[in-house]
Chain A
Amino acid sequence: MNHRQNIQLNPESLWHKSWVKFKQDRMGISGAIIVLLYLGIALGVWFGLWGGDWGTTTDAFQQSPSWQHWFGTNAIGQDVAERAIYSTKVAFEVGLTVTVLSTLIGAILGAWAGFFSGRWIDSIVLWLLGVLDSIPFYLFVAAVAYAMQGSIFAMHVAMVAVFWTTTARIIRAEVIKLKQQEFVEAAQSLGVKTPGIIFKHILPNTSHLLLVQGTITFVAAIKTEVILSFLGLGVKNGISWGLMISEATNDIQAGYFNNFAAASCFLFVLVIGFNLFSDAVQDALDPKKIH
């Protein structure tokens, strides 16, 4: 019998039970729907269905919201809604890149350190975690931006370098618990090599933690991108919610709130949707909670 199929069909598995539990969580389902909607918007921009006119300028400056311009226009006549929609794609790009990379690095190094806890590999990883955690984040971004000569990926690199540490700490702690269990001993006595034990036997057992931590990283990355772009350390060419808010600080003095309203609404709804989704996943995957 196929191993994977077995996991999905078995009604006693953690994933099956969690799915049943997740389906009953109304907040979680609405969160998931919001996230999927945004994903749809981002994919639509990706395929060129909408959001392509974010840079087009017209002579309709600072218009109020209307049917033609849902969020009005900005100081140089660009459609604010169009810009906010295009920014959704930027946010997802940053969020996904940072989440995938920091989860991968955190999982591998965390598992490695946990498996060899107390040995020199562990000490080095712990030292690295301590070092990265004690550098102020914005300075770190600035420093990375320097070293990379203002590359557009400086923001991504800095976020990955900082965000993987939390994942690594969680995975390390879990692996220290897991490695003492019988299935690891069994694999060892069958002669499975150490990398095989870590990657095939131990790491799959931490996938629920990786999923939960991944959703948390995603939200953090999106929120951080906005602040970094606002400070001039993030997205350079193109548009993002952070750049729109940065643009809005000038408009607000003059009483125009289009940019601010659009960017903060888009951001808020996505983040709250993701937080609700993340909470529900966390609840559903927690084996300690008996229902």
Chain B
Amino acid sequence: MDLLKFALKKLIGGIPLILGVTLVSFLLMVYFGPDLTYEQLGKNPTAEEIAQVRETLGYNQPFIVRYGQYLMELITLDFGFSMVKDQPVSHMLAQSIPVSLQLTLPGFILGNLLAVILALWATAHRGQWIDKTIMTGAVIGMSVSFLVVIIAFQIMLSSRYGMNLFPVRGWNIYSADGTFSWWQYLQFVTVPTLATVFVALGYNTRFYRAVLVEEINKDHVRTARAFGHSQKHIMYKAVLKNAMVPIITRVMFSIPLVVVSGSLLIESYFGIPGVGQVTYDAIIAGDQPILKAVVGLTAALFVVILLLTDILYRAFDPRVELK
């Protein structure tokens, strides 16, 4: 019961945030954004036609009504039709979100998991050559542009100038009879995943190592050493578990950005029909309904993540109270 109350309270607390994000995006994209009247009209429109289009677009309504309509769209998840594709926006998102998840999840999980392992390893051998090698690798990893990594991996792994092992671009994870095929999936997901992991490892390892080193210098670790606990026990039970709060925070808060922004570059480069690709096309074409939907939904996702993070803290740190 406590948990439910806590969750409700947090959700209500997230309303100003959602209102803020939607207001900023509404102001930028719709209110100050381009006038779309003439893009929807043929040549030589009559004054009546212009007035009619302006009415359907809602331009004759006062600000607060138009903003209210946008909020209603968010609540009902009905964002109308895309201006370019002539499909309902909700339908396009429902098709592309699963693709993005299939694409980004392996890289996201591996990127964080491997980084924690490397950080633990580096922390346990602090100041020695293992630590120095890992940290040098991390600086190099975070100094290469994501864009360069993507292109380089594509040249090395899927072009005739490299090993030519994987398809260059596209996303065809179903076998000929229309069922999901692991083999096909691995073919298309490997190169993007390798690129994501390469970049994520640099930033994540450094962050996690800093967190772990901070923890290893604390008194309880010294006490555990004095009691003669093994290095393994100390690293997992005394250090890693106590460092979980900042680690969870980082992992959770990168979820919305990984789902939308992170996949934008990969999807547009590899031609994968996920949310990133849909968003990128919408940015280039100026497809407002889609952009409004993506911004609004990401903000809502952020609030949910804030809530989940608070609940997860509780699981790892009993001192955190739900209030």
The chain A residues found within 8 Å of chain B, CB to CB, are: 127-128, 130-140, 142-144, 146-147, 149, 223, 226-227, 230-233, 242, 245, 248-249, 252, 255, 260, 264, 267-268, 271-272, 275-276, 279
Contacts and interface: CB of A to CB of B under 8 A. Distances in A.
Given A146-B33, A231-B265, A252-B159, A131 B20 contact: yes
B261 A136 contact: yes
A216 to B, nearest CB: 11
Given A135-B298, A139-B283, A147 B147 contact: no
Contacts of B25: 135, 139, 143
Q: Which 4 A-B pairs have the closest CB atoms?
A: A131-B20, A272-B143, A134-B302, A143-B28
B302 A276 contact: no
Contact of A135 (B21, B269, B280): B21
B139 A272 contact: yes
A62 B312 CA distance: 56
B257 interface: yes
Contacts of B227: none
A227 B147 contact: yes
A144 B29 CA distance: 8
Nearest to A245: B147
Interface of B: 16-17, 20-21, 24-25, 27-29, 32-34, 139-140, 142-148, 151-152, 155, 159, 161, 256-257, 260-261, 264-265, 268-269, 279-280, 283-284, 286, 291, 294-295, 298-299, 302-303
Contacts of B144: 264, 268, 271
Contacts of A130: 17, 20
B145 to A, nearest CB: 5
Nearest to B265: A227
A223 B145 contact: yes
B21 to A, nearest CB: 5
B310 to A, nearest CB: 14
B142 A137 contact: no
B147 A271 contact: no
Given A227-B265, A272-B140, A134 B21 contact: yes
A255 B161 contact: yes
Contacts of A255: 161
A222 B257 CA distance: 19
Nearest to B161: A255
B28 A134 contact: no
Nearest to A271: B143
Contacts of A231: 264-265, 268, 280, 283
17 contacts: A130-B17, A130-B20, A135-B298, A138-B261, A139-B283, A139-B291, A139-B295, A143-B25, A143-B29, A147-B32, A226-B145, A230-B147, A231-B283, A249-B151, A271-B143, A271-B144, A272-B143
Contact of A143 (B155, B261, B291): B291
Contact of B155 (A147, A227, A252): A252
Given A143-B25, A268-B148, A275 B139 contact: yes
Given A130-B20, A131-B17, A146 B294 contact: no
Nearest to A264: B148
B139 A131 contact: no
Contacts of B284: 232
A233 B145 contact: no
Contact of A137 (B261, B294, B302): B261
Contact of A248 (B17, B151, B299): B151
Contacts of B139: 272, 275-276, 279
Contacts of A267: 145, 148
Contacts of A242: 147
Nearest to B152: A264
A267 B143 CA distance: 9
Contacts of B24: 131-132, 135
A145 B299 CA distance: 20
Nearest to A150: B34
Contacts of A249: 151, 269
B280 to A, nearest CB: 7
B200 to A, nearest CB: 15
B283 A138 contact: yes
Given A136-B260, A271-B143, A142 B20 contact: no
A264 B146 CA distance: 11
A271 B145 contact: yes
Given A131-B21, A134-B302, A255-B161, A226 B279 contact: no
A255 B155 CA distance: 10
Given A143-B29, A233-B283, A227 B145 contact: yes
B283 A127 contact: no
Nearest to A278: B139
